[in-house]
Amino acid sequence: MSVTFKIKQAASTAIKELYQVDIAPSGVLVNATNPEFEGDYTVVLFAFIKQLKKSPEVLGNEIGGWLVQQHPSMFSSFNIIKGFLNLVIADAYWVNFLQEQHSNHKFGIKEHTGKKLMVEYSSPNTNKPLHLGHLRNNFLGWSVAEIYKTNGYDTVKTCIVNDRGVHICKSMIAWQMFGNGATPQSTNTKGDHFVGDYYVKFNDAYKLEVEQLIAAGKTKEEAEKQAPIMKATQQMLLDWEAGNPAVIELWKEMNSWVYSGFDVTYKTIGSDFDKTYYESNTYLLGKKIVAEGLTKGVFTQEEDNSVWIDLTNDGLDKKIVQRKDGTSVYITQDIGLAEQKFEEYGCDKSIYVIGDEQNYHMKVLKLICQKLQLPSADGIEHLSYGMVELPTGKMKSREGTVVDADDIVNEMITISKQRTEELGKVKDFSEDELKNLYTTIGLGALKFFLLRVDPKKKMIFNPEESIDFHGFTGPFVQYTYARIKSVLRKLEDVGSGNLEVDFNNHSLLKLEKDVIITLEQFPTVIEEAAQENDPSKIAIYVFNLAKTFNSFYVEHAIAKAENEEKKILRTSLATLTASVIKTAMHLLGIAVPERM
RNA sequence: GGUCUGGUAGCUCAGUUGGAUAGAGCAACAGCCUUCUAAGCUGUGGGUCAUUGGUUCGAAUCCAAUCCGGAUCACCA
């Protein structure tokens, strides 16, 4: 149980005992004490003065006095400034906390709750390679799943691959026209990039044809419709849907190239999935649900046989759920897939990691599922994230301003190699160890950078300046970890004592206490991160912890502490800090090196 | 136009259900390595929290209006 919650409880009890008034613990506001005043945590009294008809001073003295008297092991003293009751937590309390947790490698990790979470993330198209925006998606999805795992959930990570449709056919047509039988192997190109190149070639050829048609007197609209390459593409989609063997064969082959490319990228960045759904298998889903919805009266059928739902009473629009030819539309497929997922896994909650341009779609999806009273409905949550933009604006593939995922990952690894070599601290590492270290640091920097920002907000990526290895970054936290481990290794050599020293009357130094207070907040932060589907809470926390520890580290010696008692205390402090950093970074998908 | 969303230091971002003099990092400037890893630490400067009004003991936070961005409003996925 967290300190702040204990304070809330104690204050609630105090008010009940002193004034016979019921105030729930959650109704007590507890903040960290402002650094200029004495105290660790502060109870804000303003909310109670009206109800209890006492001045803040009297109230503070009575509650503060009661707390110190009733819980001497927790509160050592108090003071009142205006309506703020500042509480000093007893050093013995903090020391006790440290003694209990210092060797607990699972500090902050909760027991299994039996609840199940599904996270759908990544969801690539198979016509081009991944870019920076996909990385944000992948890192968020993986991290959120891990955060829930730590909160006691069983998790299922899924991916829906958008493997069919016009965009795929574009790459296929371009390959038929310009490929001359080339393959990723024959050109020594990564499969997803290989196919992506033909997607670009398609667009170039299409643009040219449209220009020629316009020059021949067509309107822009006519030209776009009549361009031969576009007509061929649409014909190919029809052939695909009709099951034309040659088209299906080509489609399978080109997709397999893309998957082999994706596999490499996923392996590097650490994305993995328990279940992959393919849209080519799910795009016909939902018909049964439409039929059920019609009998339930949730949907209505028009004269042309198309089926609709009217959401105007919910502040939304009318939505089509089935075309007049009886085929499903996007939203219907999603409803069908939601049901299929629920039937297969029965998760309590299902988080969709999807860009914020689909906010409306996701709102409609959940609402329709609720109206249909599908069991999956209430568990649907949209983890909506903002776009990654460049200083010059949005990334546009046409203008060549897309930051390719493989490129940026490689660049980060290269930079981390340079920095590491400049510093020259790991010259004794083997080739493999060095390679691992560069990857750990490079990916750490990239993941931390993309996860440290509130997912809901769009973010700006400046290739020159954004990637830094100092300050609020992954490598800063990794470095703090490596430095602690270095100290601990030295302590092992000389043999450190255990915690059997009597700390009852031990008084903590300011910087020691700062670290312990921060450590104690970790479990609460993990809970908040899950509640809000927000890994940035973890990133901000772990940076703050590393910073606080570093301030302590430069000021006070651990291995060469003033006396044995201090040495043991600080060793356990460092041990727990390292452990929390490791756990927290893991929640972000970031590894921590023993040395760097 | 309707709906949603954002505007905080030169730049990138924090800021819990309203709480004390609005915080970090980067950049700038000034310091700290014969002592546990300087990818570190300490300090300085830097703000009309878009604007205006309202709610109250108290507003960056809540409400209203205005200004400026972005997303969305497909029988595409």
What Å value separates CA A35 and C1' B21? 11
Verify that A520 and A425 share a domain, yes or no: yes
The CA R_g of chain A, rounded to the nearest whole Å, is 30
Q: Which amino acid residue lies closest to nucleotide B40, measuring CA to C1'? A: A550
Give the nucleotide with minimal C1' distance to the Cα of A306.
B75
Alpha carbon distance A161, A165 (integer Å): 12
Backbone angles phi, psi at A271, to 5 degrees: -85, 135
Q: Identify the CA nearest to A304 among candidates A319, A326, A335, A288.
A: A326
Q: Identify the CA nearest to A414 among candidates A349, A367, A467.
A: A467
Verify that A424 and A530 share a domain, yes or no: yes
Looking at the domain assignment, is residue A82 inside a domain?
yes
Verify that A61 and A172 share a domain, yes or no: no
Verify that A83 and A171 share a domain, yes or no: no
Alpha carbon distance A520, A548 (integer Å): 13
Verify that A446 and A576 share a domain, yes or no: yes
Residue recorded with tokens 């490929």: A179
Verify that A445 and A536 share a domain, yes or no: yes
Answer for the pair A210, A227: CB distance below 8 angstroms, yes or no.
yes
Verify that A60 and A170 share a domain, yes or no: no
**Per-position pLDDT tens, chain A of length 596:** 899 999 999 999 999 999 998 999 999 999 999 988 899 999 999 988 888 888 888 999 999 999 999 999 999 999 999 889 999 999 999 999 999 999 899 999 999 999 999 999 999 999 999 999 999 999 999 999 999 999 999 999 999 999 999 999 999 999 999 999 999 999 999 999 999 999 999 999 999 999 999 999 988 888 988 999 999 999 999 999 999 999 999 999 999 999 999 999 999 999 999 999 999 999 888 888 999 999 999 999 998 999 999 998 888 889 999 998 888 899 999 999 999 999 999 999 999 999 999 999 999 999 999 999 999 999 999 999 999 998 888 887 767 788 999 999 999 999 999 999 999 999 999 999 999 999 999 999 999 999 999 999 999 998 777 778 999 999 999 999 999 999 999 887 655 455 566 666 778 999 999 999 999 999 999 999 999 999 999 999 999 999 999 999 999 999 989 888 899 999 999 999 999 999 999 999 999 999 99
Residues 6+ apart with CB under 8 A from A357: A387
The two counts, helices (H) then strands (E), for chain A are: 22, 14
What Å value separates CA A230 and C1' B51? 50
Number of structural domains in chain A? 3
The pLDDT value recorded for residue A340 is: 94
Looking at the domain assignment, is residue A329 inside a domain?
no
What Å value separates CA A459 and C1' B71? 14
The pLDDT value recorded for residue A500 is: 60
The pLDDT value recorded for residue A159 is: 97
Verify that A71 and A200 share a domain, yes or no: no
Looking at the domain assignment, is residue A364 inside a domain?
no
Answer for the pair A450, A136: CB distance below 8 angstroms, yes or no.
yes
Give the nucleotide with minimal C1' distance to the Cα of A318.
B73
What Å value separates CA A418 and C1' B15? 36
Answer for the pair A136, A146: CB distance below 8 angstroms, yes or no.
no
Looking at the domain assignment, is residue A360 inside a domain?
no
Tokens of A522: 């970790």
Q: Which amino acid residue lies closest to nucleotide B24, measuring CA to C1'? A: A472
DSSP states of A409-476: HHHHHHHHHHHHHHHT--TT--HHHHHHHHHHHHHHHHHHHHHSS-TTS-EE--TTTT--SSSSSHHH
- Under DSSP, the state recorded for A112 is P
Q: How many other C-beta atoms lie within 10 A of the C-beta of residue A111?
A: 8
Report the alpha-carbon angle A212-A216-A221, nearest 5: 75
Report the alpha-carbon angle A204-A209-A212, nearest 5: 125
Q: Nucleotides of chain B within 7 Å of a protein C-beta?
A: 2-6, 11-17, 19-21, 24-27, 35-42, 57-58, 70-77
What Å value separates CA A501 and C1' B74? 72
Verify that A81 and A207 share a domain, yes or no: no
CA A515 to each of CA A215, A456, A506, A518, A552: distance values in angstroms, whole numbers, following the listed order: 71, 30, 16, 5, 8
Give the nucleotide with minimal C1' distance to the Cα of A325.
B75
Give the nucleotide with minimal C1' distance to the Cα of A164.
B77
Residues 6+ apart with CB under 8 A from A460: A388, A389, A390, A391, A466
Final residue of a structural domain among A41, A71, A89? A89
Q: Which amino acid residue lies closest to nucleotide B21, measuring CA to C1'? A: A36
Verify that A84 and A205 share a domain, yes or no: no
Looking at the domain assignment, is residue A84 inside a domain?
yes
Give the nucleotide with minimal C1' distance to the Cα of A540.
B14
What Å value separates CA A364 and C1' B4? 13
The pLDDT value recorded for residue A270 is: 96
- Runs of H (alpha helix) within A283-384: 287-296, 330-345, 359-371
The pLDDT value recorded for residue A498 is: 56
Verify that A554 and A433 share a domain, yes or no: yes
Give the nucleotide with minimal C1' distance to the Cα of A437.
B39
Final residue of a structural domain among A89, A115, A131? A89
> For the domain that residue A536 is a member of, what is the CATH number?
1.10.730.10
Verify that A76 and A190 share a domain, yes or no: no
Q: Which amino acid residue lies closest to nucleotide B37, measuring CA to C1'? A: A483
Looking at the domain assignment, is residue A495 inside a domain?
yes
What Å value separates CA A143 and C1' B58? 39
Give the nucleotide with minimal C1' distance to the Cα of A557.
B36
Residue recorded with tokens 């599922």: A369
The side-by-side arrangement of strands in the sheet containing A154-161 is: A275-278, A154-161, A116-120, A349-355, A380-385
DSSP lists the bridge partners of residue A460 as A389
What Å value separates CA A471 and C1' B25? 5
Answer for the pair A138, A265: CB distance below 8 angstroms, yes or no.
no
Looking at the domain assignment, is residue A592 inside a domain?
no
> For the domain that residue A70 is a member of, what is the CATH number?
3.30.1360.70
Looking at the domain assignment, is residue A461 inside a domain?
yes
Domain that holds residue A170: 165-274
Final residue of a structural domain among A208, A241, A274? A274
